[in-house]
């Protein structure tokens, strides 16, 4: 098996995701391998995570704090260098010129050789009968 960091001559990688935890369940193995290979990995999380719970008793503001803390803890375990939280409202992310400029700004600043992102055509939950989450597609 080849080393992804050597394959791409990567020094910097950026994971772009809609929600806190998206990169954890979709790319944490790749992130761990990149970090182990000496790549500086950063996360760009586009939404605030305010609706990512089935517990309706938690206020959105509290959930934002919880999910960002969980994301920081998970990223720390993997050795991620830093996380940028964009704070767009969870569930309302749209692929707009403004969003594209925000993502492009981070890419221009970090200059990653590798960018990790969702495949918008991935079947997210076949039992529920929909293709991916709208925020994931916009991301």
Ranking 1-5, 104-108, 116-120 by mean pLDDT, the lowest is 1-5
Domain ranges in the chain are: 9-138
Q: Is the pLDDT of residue 102 over 70?
A: yes
CATH of 9-138, one of 3.40.50.10320, 3.40.640.10, 3.40.50.1970, 3.30.420.40: 3.40.50.10320
Q: Using pLDDT thresholds of 50, 70 and 90, give the confidence band for residue 25.
A: confident
Question: Measuring CA to CA, which residue among 56, 42, 124, 54 is closest to residue 86?
Answer: 42
d(CA 18, CA 67): 13
Evaluate whether 106 touches 84 at the Cβ level (below 8 Å): yes
pLDDT computed for residue 27 by the predictor: 93
Q: Is the pLDDT of residue 129 over 70?
A: no
pTM: 0.88
């Amino acid at each position: 098996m080849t080393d992804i960091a050597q394959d791409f001559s990567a020094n910097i990688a950026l994971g772009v995701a809609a929600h806190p935890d998206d990169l954890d369940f979709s790319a944490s193995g790749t992130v761990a391998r990149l970090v182990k290979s000496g790549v500086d990995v950063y996360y760009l999380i586009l939404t605030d995570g305010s609706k990512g719970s089935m517990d309706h008793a938690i206020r959105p503001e509290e959930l934002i704090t919880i999910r960002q803390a969980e994301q920081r803890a998970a990223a720390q375990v993997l050795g991620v260098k830093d996380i940028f939280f964009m704070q767009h409202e969870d569930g309302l992310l749209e692929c707009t010129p403004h969003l594209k400029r925000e993502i492009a700004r981070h890419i221009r600043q970090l200059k990653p050789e590798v960018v990790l992102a969702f495949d918008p055509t991935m079947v997210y939950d076949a039992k529920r009968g929909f293709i991916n989450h709208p925020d994931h597609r916009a991301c």
